[in-house]
Amino acid sequence: MQLLLRQKYYLKKIILLLVIFAAGKTAVYAQTGIYDTIRTYAVVYDGDTIEAKTLYGVEVFSRVANVDPVRRAKMTRLRNAIIVTYPYAQRSGIILNEMNAVLAKMPEKADRKSYIKTREKELKKEFTDPLSNLSIYQGKILMKLINRQTGNNCYDIIKEYKGGLTARLYQTVAFFFSSNLKQPYDAFGDDYEIEMILVEVCRTYGYSYAVYRQQM
């Protein structure tokens, strides 16, 4: 019991670091200006130039009547964890966009660092209490979703903001609850079930869904 509580304590610390710093990771390098141009394909239709988009295939899933009870319970648990944790992962992306907009107007490096530090304090107040209610399993799923949302594994995020020693410490702790901060997000392999459920959850609850792009 004591070991379980200790594992949950460290997991909460890891998750809190990730949610706070995941948004800032890309934001630190934000150099986008208002005059930047985004190139895209276009077609001319009846004299109007219209942006051309490629529509990706749609996967349709149906309920299976005679599903193995063990598998049904596993999928239900996974779905519930995604419902609980995805808003936090998505919130990281929203924060990132907000920070990018502000940082784009700050040419001085010192000003950017000061702004990010202030936002970190605000985010700690916002996320500390809600994240304290997550189970170990939900924490693992959230780490996966943050990886998906930011394109960075959890170890690299912690290492960049808290240093290599802290990252190695939390990596060691993660092993005790059968996790790995360096694990990638594989939407087409080990994490296919997460991706499949995420599509359904986004449609059901009205979350925006971005098609996953494999990191190169």
Q: What is the mean pLDDT of residues 11-27?
A: 60
CA distance 196 to 9: 30
- Of 139, 144, 156, the closest CA to residue 21 belongs to 156
Q: What is the mean pLDDT of residues 158-187?
A: 80
Q: How does residue 78 score in pLDDT terms, banded at 50, 70 and 90?
A: very high
| Tokens 């966009």, located at residue | 97
Q: pLDDT tens digit string along 102-121?
A: 878 888 878 877 887 787 77
In a domain, 140, yes or no: yes
**What are 132's two structure tokens?**
């304290």
What mean pLDDT is reported for the chain? Answer: 75
pLDDT surpasses 90 at 132:
no
CA distance 205 to 114: 36
Q: pLDDT tens digit string along 47-77?
A: 888 888 777 676 666 665 667 888 888 999 9
In a domain, 211, yes or no: no
What domain range includes position 192? 2-205
| Tokens 């998505």, located at residue | 90
CA distance 181 to 156: 8
| Tokens 């996966």, located at residue | 144
In a domain, 165, yes or no: yes
In a domain, 212, yes or no: no
In a domain, 130, yes or no: yes
Q: How many domains does the chain have?
A: 1
